[in-house]
Chain A
């Protein structure tokens, strides 16, 4: 491999090698480049060490194939395709010849680990990468043009590029990218290049098909759980069911001699594992191990005790301030009418379809892992620490994720896999969690309650709004150092100026009483936006009702200063035909919310039978995410996010009893299925000028739209989730 690696000020890496006579250009994606990313950055743990990663490679082969390889994690959200579109557009590539992949271990091996330093990275998707990715494409294009100009002996300014061909305009001579790639690889990357203006985009903004579908239809797609290595063993694990408890003893003799069993290993003070030839054998043996736990100080905690603990916070004097405008207390005191309500949402598990797993091989001075991770950097650090080796002794192979939803930013399962592998040196060990372990040892969406107080004047105008949150802070659990003045700003997601759509309300107070429990919490797709949207948007509906106004008209009346919020709200109202007649028994609910920089709104149409059976007939969703790289992918994400958001609305919750999570498998931790899913109609309405998020923001509007429609249908105001706790029967 004739690799001439060079790194210039623009932080590009050029290699003449990987495709044999092709051009491989890699570039760094910076960490935390812009404030707009703040909401996404909070999804991952703090980066370890350096401020950048080699995030994207573009390889142009002699046969004109353009392969875009990314270091980011693909969890199903379509980032791979979107990033490829950004690169290909700036590159002026022929889209039909563009492939996208992210670096698989075998590719890495075949290329003598040329992608070695790509094993770091987080999951910040498209909008964090936009500028760099496009610059990379534009740089490669400039190098190809320069190579053509050199060959023809003409000024580069006389050459243009389109559809993977460089043309010398005065003479009409043409050279394909594939013919130029090797020569381009010998040139230094230009110091700076301009990217296209939105009006010049050809591939960005098109609803092209995903590039990574075929292997998912044939069983060929290799997920981390599918990794097969020579000599591999498997491990099944049991962790103390009560958070904070400890392992006391187990009876290894009972499982010695069971089929395939190799070893029983203590993983840490709360965890034991069985290592066997096959996972099924390990799991069978684990069940026979007679484990005794010391349940520790939290063994009496229950959902009920947590609820009263949080309730106290609703009226507590001390609270972290989110935003204050005007004088809420005075305005409430002078209001013609006040409305008060308390809402609450439970702990939730991520329940990725592929359970937690990681394969590790420890060979004394080195450790190699195969992992489905949302944060390769953190996986590397966790493996090094568990192995007791320097970072340089770790090799991370990132594999395809069967869902992430924020769960796989945490590295507990990586640490465990390495701790197990250390006790079986030389042989790779694949650790797989059972579904029960997965549900009962998560970093849960935190439990919160919210007390809302609103004041209306004599004409039914909203003059004051106080929103008091009480509940657990994610940062306090995962990254206390990232709290500012003891405040976890993420708690207020969607409720602060810049996100809140009701800044026209003259008196506003948003605050949070931190009430942390012993239950581990973490980032769950949509994070705090989901709960906050339910609190805010259901309560706004309550206020509209109290004011005797139509929920749409009432919202419009307080959105004077928020035209983009209003635009998405109007879009769903129009598409759903708000105010027009519906079939008998069908009722509508509406809401809007802003998070991750995107404006979202939804209308739900539901009916509730006399017996209380809920049917969601139709949902209309609108999103303004600024620029839309691929409207078709965005529509798919919005539909999917509704499927994801319906679970917590209808069924999902993690109940705490005796200090542990009660639910174990999908029979008790229920999620939405086909029969629950309404047809989702999506309005993608990019207004341009900014890059908003896509994968998460629309989850937030599912709950309030449906709950407000249920109120319209039944007169029942549902303030706690999931709906399984409520009887919608007509009384």
Chain B
């Protein structure tokens, strides 16, 4: 049994400790907001926060998480009211939407670390792939969430 603290609730999961956190979230716990895109830490679709740090959950064995607090897209806000989600709404960021859970989690982590990120900060931190190409709007939404004015 693995014990995981996810979005403020502790879950007991009967999975092999090597199982990536992504699949524990999706298949054992039915939390499908966190997405599978590559499985090798390349695309960021599976991004979650571990004690506030953004991690690619496809490459984090569930057994290694320990007591770290996990935040997934479902736990960001009860109703989509987190400032990053609101900025995303304002800029109509998503197209297909598949990458956006991961993009939002990466942006939340960036803004925690750098409340006023520059374009260069955004280029560096936001390496998540969006095949629909919504990058311009992601950038603009991050600037809005940061209160950087229209970016």
Contact = CB atoms under 8 A, between A and B. Distances in A.
Contacts of A225: 32, 35-36
Contacts of A642: 133
A400 B98 CA distance: 9
Contacts of B45: 353
Interface stretch (A208-216, A289-297, A443-451, A714-722): A208-216
Contacts of B73: 218-219
A199 interface: no
Contacts of A403: 96, 98, 131-132
Contacts of A673: 126-129, 135
Interface residues of A, number: 62
A680 B130 CA distance: 16
Contacts of B35: 223, 225, 353-354, 402
A665 B30 contact: no
Contacts of B39: 434-435, 665
Contact of B134 (A234, A259, A278, A640): A640
Interface stretch (A39-47, A72-80, A598-606): A72-80
Contacts of A222: 32
B136 A217 contact: no
A126 interface: no
B123 A77 contact: no
Q: Which residue of B45, B89, B98 has the most chain A CB atoms within 10 A of its CB atom?
A: B98
B95 interface: yes
A402 B98 contact: yes
Contacts of A644: 131-133
A353 B133 contact: no
A353 B37 contact: yes
B124 A76 contact: no
A177 interface: no
B131 to A, nearest CB: 5
A102 interface: no
Given A75-B96, A278-B28, A353 B23 contact: no
Contacts of A75: 95-96
B122 to A, nearest CB: 7
B135 A674 contact: yes
Interface of B is mostly: loop
Nearest to B131: A353
Given A434-B39, A671-B129, A217 B94 contact: yes
Given A76-B94, A217-B88, A674-B123, A259 B136 contact: no
A263 B35 CA distance: 26
Interface string B66-78: 0000001110110
A216 B38 CA distance: 20
A675 B32 contact: no
A76 B27 contact: no
Given A402-B35, A632-B92, A636-B137, A353 B127 contact: no
Contacts of A355: 36-37
A640 B39 CA distance: 24
Given A640-B132, A643-B135, A76 B96 contact: yes
B43 A213 contact: no
Contacts of B15: 278
A209 B37 contact: no
A639 B16 CA distance: 43
A640 B133 contact: yes
**Interface of chain A: mostly helix, strand, loop or mixed:** loop
B10 interface: no
A667 B42 contact: yes
B19 interface: yes
A280 interface: yes
Contacts of A639: 133-137
Contact of B127 (A223, A280, A402, A674): A674
Contacts of A216: 94, 97, 100
A234 B19 CA distance: 15
A352 B99 CA distance: 10
B147 interface: no
A636 B94 CA distance: 9
Contacts of B31: 219
Interface string A647-670: 000000000000000000111000
Contacts of A354: 35, 37, 96, 98
B62 to A, nearest CB: 10
Interface in A303-336: none
Nearest to B133: A643
A639 B40 CA distance: 28
B33 interface: yes
A213 B89 CA distance: 7
Contact of A671 (B23, B104, B131): B131
B61 to A, nearest CB: 11
Given A76-B96, A216-B94, A280-B19, A641 B80 contact: no
Interface in B97-151: 97-101, 104, 122-124, 126-139
A675 B123 contact: yes
A672 interface: yes
B133 to A, nearest CB: 2
Given A219-B73, A636-B95, A352 B36 contact: no
A280 B23 contact: yes
Nearest to A283: B39
Given A353-B37, A665-B40, A680 B99 contact: no
B10 to A, nearest CB: 20
Nearest to A218: B80
Nearest to A699: B133
A637 B97 CA distance: 14
B133 A278 contact: no
A223 to B, nearest CB: 6
A724 interface: no
A619 B126 CA distance: 21
A432 B22 CA distance: 15
A280 B62 CA distance: 12
B79 to A, nearest CB: 8
A694 to B, nearest CB: 12
A48 interface: no
Contacts of B20: 280
A666 B42 contact: yes
Contacts of B23: 278-280
B82 to A, nearest CB: 9
B85 interface: yes
Nearest to B125: A674
A351 B38 CA distance: 10
Given A402-B99, A403-B96, A435-B37, 19 more contacts: A210-B94, A216-B94, A217-B80, A217-B94, A219-B101, A225-B32, A353-B43, A354-B35, A404-B96, A636-B137, A639-B135, A643-B133, A665-B38, A665-B39, A666-B40, A666-B42, A667-B42, A673-B128, A677-B133
9 contacts: A216-B97, A218-B79, A219-B72, A278-B23, A353-B35, A400-B96, A636-B92, A639-B135, A671-B131
Interface of A: 74-78, 209-210, 212-223, 225-226, 228, 234, 259, 278-280, 351-355, 400-405, 432, 434-435, 632, 636-637, 639-644, 646, 665-667, 671-675, 677, 679-680
Interface of B: 15-16, 19-20, 23, 26-28, 30-40, 42-43, 45, 72-74, 76-77, 79-80, 85, 88-89, 92-101, 104, 122-124, 126-139
